[in-house]
Amino acid sequence: MEAVNTYLLSVTLASLLVNFAISLYAMFFKPHYVKKVIALTILGDTVNTFAIYIGYRRWVEQRPPRVPVLTDLRPEAIEEFKNLAVDPLPQALVLTAIVIGLAVILFLVFLGWILYSHYRTLDMREIKRLKG
């Protein structure tokens, strides 16, 4: 079972790196505004997923993590819980990042609407040419 968990973690991290690279490529080299916004959304989701993996205690200690719910109040159970529970701080930071990301995406969609109403295109090369 440990080999399967390590394999799945490796595959997930590799796919996160691929997503990160593809989204950076699309943000910098694709000329269409909508593609840039979609790439930014994928980049944000990739970073959020990576932040959740940072909170996975298996990286710190080679023991399986536990759900952060304390059911036993004995001192030794509390100490074991403290060592094995998944860190809730990255999860709280990701929730905040999701809300901020939503606000940024909504702003960029509104900006795209303004760009299209002004230039009648969302191609960044065409907008640069029209701007002069």
pLDDT in tens, 1-40: 678 877 888 888 899 999 999 999 999 999 999 999 999 9
Coil, strand, or helix at residue 70?
coil
- Residue 120 region by backbone torsions, left for phi larger than 0, else alpha for psi between -120 and 50, else beta: left
- The single residue listed with the structure tokens 């901020």 is 100
89 C-beta neighbours (distance < 10 Å), count: 10
Q: How far apart are CA 122 and CA 111, in angstroms?
A: 10
Question: Which residue from 98, 83, 101 is spatially nearest to 52, judged by alpha carbons?
Answer: 98
Q: With bands split at pLDDT 50, 70 and 90, how would you rate the model's confidence at 86?
A: confident
pLDDT of residue 72 exceeding 80: yes
Whole-number pLDDT of residue 125: 95
pTM: 0.80
- Residue 65 CB partners (closer than 8 Å, separation 6+): 56, 57, 58, 84, 85, 86
Q: How far apart are CA 120 and CA 129, in angstroms?
A: 13
Q: How far apart are CA 78 and CA 59, in angstroms?
A: 21
Greater confidence (58 vs 124) lies with 124
